[in-house]
Structure 1
Amino acid sequence: MSLKKAYILVFLVLIIDQVSKIYIKTHFFIGESIKVMGLDWFQIHFIENEGMAWGAVIPGEYGKLFLTLFRIVAVGGIGWWLWDSVRKNASNYLKVAIALILAGAVGNIIDSVFYGVIFNDSYHQVATLFSDEPYGRWFHGEVVDMLYFPIWEGNLPSWLPVWGGKPFSFFNAIFNVADVAISTGVGILIVFNKKAFGK
């Protein structure tokens, strides 16, 4: 895979990610959800993530800024890794994986850097793009998540230690296209490890 093709893959993932996020921001309010094709286990459920995976945050006034700047530095490193892998004619498994991880990371950085100043808030209302009353500041935007697959919900059997008899949901994470790209890239590196790093 050439560097041009890798960048095309990154660009396509970014377009899908940002179009889906902008659509959700301008058509849903936070907490709103719909079932896709009437399926209970596939839903669009709009939330915003202030921090890292699973809503984790870095406490303090500058926690969000630190996280965003760290992501930008990490993207620089991933971009260099992609360039170096192409230069060394590494496996296509590795190049595709890095391109997907890069695209996902950039997709979520766009939210963090820009969304706070181009959208108003989404609480009890649909947000407006290029609003006169933005909800945040530069580098303090929130990441849009919407893909939800609650495959099974119910109470766990009472005989299970610790969690027995308690409500449980599988799979309860809510994520976005950028997260899917990152997870797919990491999955390729794990599952096809020998082929990815064979050279």
Structure 2
Amino acid sequence: MASPVHFTVWPAVVVVALDQVSKWLLTRFLQPLETFPVLSGFFNIVHVRNRGMAFGLLNRSDGVQWRMILLIGASLAATIVLVWWLTRLKPSERLMAFALSLVLGGAVGNLVDRLAYGEVIDFLDFYIGSYHWPAFNVADAAITIGTILIGFVFLRGSRRGAQF
């Protein structure tokens, strides 16, 4: 049986690849702030840039360098902690390994953007009427799903929740 670390490599790689390819396609077809309607009244593809973190927190254009250093540092620290955690899992903890892999892939996907562009590209825009959820990307979705799965594992207990 493959160890959790080996099992985990592939989901993280897939998340990073899907995230980066989707962002590359977006930048080829939409200009910044341009919108492409997909489902009227519910979903658009938009091209927005986020210099902050999730849901636009710290997303200001005042050029403060500490924010970028803080966000890159936090992403690197999270990556190190996630890899460390993955190496400590038992082979039976496959659901936790998968969940951590999603978070790892998302963290790396957004870190690539921060290092390459100094900001993160977001493009998924869900809304009802004038109420919009903050735009997000594949990496953000993976982080959210992975975090929910981690919570599920903890709520079920390590013995029952570890099974995949």
- Counterpart of 2:120 (choices 118, 139, 143) is 143
- Superposed displacement of residue 63, structure 1: 1.9
Work out the CA distance in 2 between the residues paired with 1:4 and 1:15.
17
Deviation string for 1:44-99 (max 9, x for gaps)? 011010011122228833221222122112211111111211xx225222111100
Query: What TM-score do you get using the length of structure 1 for normalisation?
Result: 0.71
Identity %: 29
Is there any run of 5+ residues in structure 2 with no aligned partner, and where? none
Name the aligned partner's letter for residue 184 of structure 1. I
Structure in which a larger fraction of residues adopt helix:
2
Greater relative contact order (Cα 8 A, min sep 6): structure 1 or 2?
A: 2
Q: Which has the larger radius of gyration?
A: 1
CA contact (8 A) 1:93 1:196 kept: no
Work out the CA distance in 2 between the residues paired with 1:5 and 1:105.
18
- Give the aligned partner of residue 72 of structure 1: 76
Change (3 A) 1:194 1:61: closer
Work out the CA distance in 1 between the residues paired with 2:72 and 2:126.
27
Change (3 A) 1:153 1:75: same
Look up the SS of the partner of 1:174 in the other structure: coil
> Is residue 39 of structure 1 aligned with residue 15 of structure 2?
no
- Superposed displacement of residue 153, structure 1: 2.0
Aligned runs of 1:26-175 on 2, under 5 Å? 26-36=28-38, 38-57=39-58, 60-85=64-89, 88-114=90-116, 116=117, 141-150=118-127, 152-153=128-129, 169=131, 171-175=132-136
- Superposed displacement of residue 195, structure 1: 4.2
CA contact (8 A) 1:48 1:143 kept: yes
Deviation string for 1:6-60 (max 9, x for gaps)? 1011111111000001111222111111122x43312101101001112222883
- Counterpart of 2:22 (choices 20, 23, 35) is 20
Name the aligned partner's letter for residue 153 of structure 1. G
Look up the SS of the partner of 2:48 in the other structure: strand
RMSD across aligned positions (CA): 2.0
> Is residue 11 of structure 1 aligned with residue 13 of structure 2?
yes
Name the aligned partner's letter for residue 137 of structure 2. N
Aligned runs of 1:175-194 on 2, under 5 Å? 175-194=136-155
